[in-house]
Chains A and B, each alone.
Chain A
Amino acid sequence: MTSTTQTTAPAGAGIAPAPAGAARLSKRQLRKMHSTPKHLRSNLTAFLMIAPLLILLAIFVIWPLVYAFYLSGYETYYNRPAEFVGLDFYKFVLTDPLFWSALWVGLKYSLLVVPTILVLSLLLASFIKTLSGKMAAILKTTVYVPAVVSVVLTGLVFVFMYQDSGVVNAFVGMFGIEPVAWLNNDSTVLAAISVPGIWLGFGISTLIMLAALLDIPESYYEAASLEGANWFQRTWYITIPMLKNVFLYLLVTGFTLAMQEYLIPLIMTNGGPVNATTTTNLFIFNQFRDTSAFAFTYSITAALILFVVLGLLSLLIFKAIKSDKAVDG
C-alpha cells in the first residue's frame, strides 16, 4: 500500500474531511493521526502508576503459577538435580484413590453447603425486601456480621458448641435425643462442619440476592396480582426466572469456593475421623506438610489439577450466562 494515490487518504476515519495535502502524508504520520493525540498520552505517568501493582502480581502470583506448572513436570531430589518426568505426576495424582476420595468429600461438603445457602438466602432476601427501611437496614447488617468473623474463630466456636455437654447437644436434648459426638462420628461429621460453612457464607449471598430482587420491576408483580396470581405463582413465574443469572452466579462462585474449603476441616477435625472430612485442598495441604520431595511435587500437581478443572467449569458456566443474557436483552 502506497500513499501516493488519492484513495488511501484517511476518508473513512470519521474525522473532519482531510485537508488537500493529506494525501501526501506518510504512513507513519497517518497512524499518528488515528491514535490518541500525543498530548493525551501519558506513558511515563501511567507506567509509574501501574508498576507497583504489576510488579507485585508478577512476583507473588504470576511467577509462582508459572513455577508451579514448571515444577509439576519435574521429580525433585534432595541429593541430585531434578529430573524431567513430563506428565508423570499428573498420572500419579489422577490414579491415586486418596485424591479421588478427597474430591468426593469436597463434593459432598459442597452439596451440603451451597444449595442450603441458596435456598436460605432467597428466603431471607425475599423477607428483607418486604420490610421498611430501618428494619431492612438492621437485618442487612446483621446477616453480614458472620461473614467478617474469621474461619479459624468460627471453627473453634463450633467445636466448642459441638462438645459432648455443649450447647448443640443441650438443644437436641430438648427433643429427647441422646448427646451425639458430632465431630467423631462418620455419619454426622460432614454435616456438622458444613454448618459453620453455611453460617459464614449466607450473609453475602443474601445481600446479593436482595440487590437482584430489588432490581425486578415492581410493575411485573402488580400486573400478575391484577391477573389474580397468588404469592407462590408470582414467586415461581416472576421471581425465580428473573433471578436465574444471580442464582447461577452464586451457584458457580459458591461451588468453586466450597470445593476449595480446607480451613474449616483443618481447624475442626484435622480431616478426621479417618479422612471423613479430608477435602481436596486439605489433602493437598497435608501432602505439602509432609516433608518428602515426592509429596512436594505431588501436592503442587494436585493443586493445579483442581485449579484447572474448577476454572474451566466456571468459565463454561459464565459463558453460558453471558450468552443467555444477550438473548434476554
Chain B
Amino acid sequence: MTGKLLAVKGIKFLFGLAIVITSLFPLAWMAVAGFKGKSEVLRSPFQFFPDMWDWTNYRQILADPAFVRTLWVTFAGAVVFTLLSLFINSMAAYAFARLDFFWKPLWWVVALMPMFVPGMAILITSFVVVSKLGMLNTIAVLIIPGLASSGQMFFLRQFYLNTPIAVEEAALIDGASRWQIFTKIFLPQSKAPFVVMGFGSFLAYWNAYVWPLLTVGDNPNLLQMQVYLAGFRSERGDDWGLLMAGGTIAALPTIVLVLIFQRYITTGVRIAGMK
C-alpha cells in the first residue's frame, strides 16, 4: 500500500516537474544564454549550462546608457500610469456601484462599451486623434490614452457591489460626505482588487509595443523597453547573448511582481474569468 502511494506521489512529482519545465524553460534558456559568450551561445552540440559563467553580457547591457535610460523611463512611466489609472477607474467604479445620478444607465453603457472595442479597430484613428492633439513624441501620449479602462472599472465595481452597505449608511448618518466615504472606507479595503488591477495596468504599460513604436518612435529620450528589444537586432545584429541578457532584465520586473503578489493575482484571474 505504501509502495503504491509512493509511486503515485512520484508520478505526480514528475508530472509537476514537467509542467514547471514547460512553463519556465524559455525564460531559463534566455537567462542562461545571457551568461554565454558569442562562440558558445549557439554552439552545437547543445549544452544547457555554459562552460564558464560569464557576466560580460549583463555587464555590457547595463553599461549601455540607452538601455539603462529605457529601463528607468519605462519603469517610471509604468508606475505613474498604474497609480493614475487606479485612481480614475476606482473613483468611477465607486460612483457606479453606490451613487445614484441622472441618466445613470446611459453613462453605464458609455463606460462599458469600450471593453468590446479591439485595439486594432481604433489604432489608426487614435493615432490621428493624438497627433491632432499635439501629443506625439511626448510622455503624455504614452500615459493618458490608456488610463481609463472599462474592464478594470467593471471588475472593481463588482467588488464594491459586494461590500456591505451598513458601515456606509452609518457614516452617511454621521454626516460624512460621499467623497469621505470613498477615501476613508472604500479605498482602505480595496487592497486585493487594487493589486490585481494595478498589476494589470503595470503589465499593459511595461509590455506595450505597437503604441509607443508609432507615437514616440521619433523621440529617443522616451524609448520604451519593448521597442528597444524589438529594434535590437536591426541595430546591433544577432548578438544573441547580449539581447538575451537585456531581455532577462526586461522580464524581471513583471516576474518579480507576480512572485510578490502571487496569492492576489492567481485568485484575481479566477474572479476575472468568472464574471
Contacts and interface: CB of A to CB of B under 8 A. Distances in A.
Bound pair (A, B): yes
A60 B107 contact: no
Given A137-B262, A299-B124, A146 B23 contact: yes
Contacts of B33: 160
A147 to B, nearest CB: 8
A8 interface: no
Given A56-B148, A60-B145, A40 B100 contact: yes
Contact of A211 (B147, B226, B270): B270
Given A60-B148, A130-B12, A50 B107 contact: yes
Nearest to A49: B95
B23 A145 contact: yes
Interface string A47-77: 1011011101111111111011001000000
A304 B118 CA distance: 10
Nearest to B202: A148
Say what secondary structure dominates the interface of chain B.
helix
B65 interface: no
Nearest to B100: A36
Contacts of B53: none
B150 A57 contact: yes
A157 B153 CA distance: 34
A303 B123 contact: yes
Contacts of B206: 150
Interface in A155-182: 156-158, 160-161, 163, 165-167, 170-171, 173
Interface string A191-215: 0000010010001100110111000
Contacts of A149: 27, 251, 254-255
Contact of B258 (A145, A204, A246): A145
Interface string A128-158: 0011000101011111111011111110111
Interface residues of B, number: 87
A127 interface: yes
Say what secondary structure dominates the interface of chain A.
helix
A260 interface: yes
A288 interface: yes
Given A62-B110, A304-B121, A50 B266 contact: no
Contacts of B72: none
A303 B270 contact: no
Interface residues of A, number: 88
A143 B23 CA distance: 6
Interface in B231-267: 232-233, 240, 243-244, 247, 250-251, 254-255, 257-259, 262-263, 265-266
Q: Looking at B15, B111, B122, which has the most chain A CB atoms within 10 Å of its CB? A: B122
A173 B182 CA distance: 62
B125 interface: yes
A296 interface: yes
A105 B145 CA distance: 31
Interface stretch (B38-46, B56-64, B75-83, B188-196): B38-46
A249 interface: yes
Contacts of B210: 263, 285
B271 to A, nearest CB: 8
A284 interface: yes
Contacts of A145: 23-24, 27, 255, 258
B201 interface: no
A263 B22 CA distance: 22
B222 interface: no
Interface of B: 12, 15-16, 19-20, 22-24, 26-27, 29-30, 33, 42-46, 88-89, 91-92, 94-96, 99-102, 107, 110-111, 113-114, 116-118, 120-126, 128-130, 144-148, 150, 153, 177-179, 182, 203, 206-207, 209-210, 226, 229-230, 232-233, 240, 243-244, 247, 250-251, 254-255, 257-259, 262-263, 265-266, 269-270, 273-274
17 contacts: A41-B100, A45-B177, A49-B92, A49-B94, A49-B182, A53-B91, A53-B153, A56-B148, A64-B126, A137-B266, A139-B19, A148-B255, A152-B230, A157-B26, A167-B29, A171-B46, A262-B120
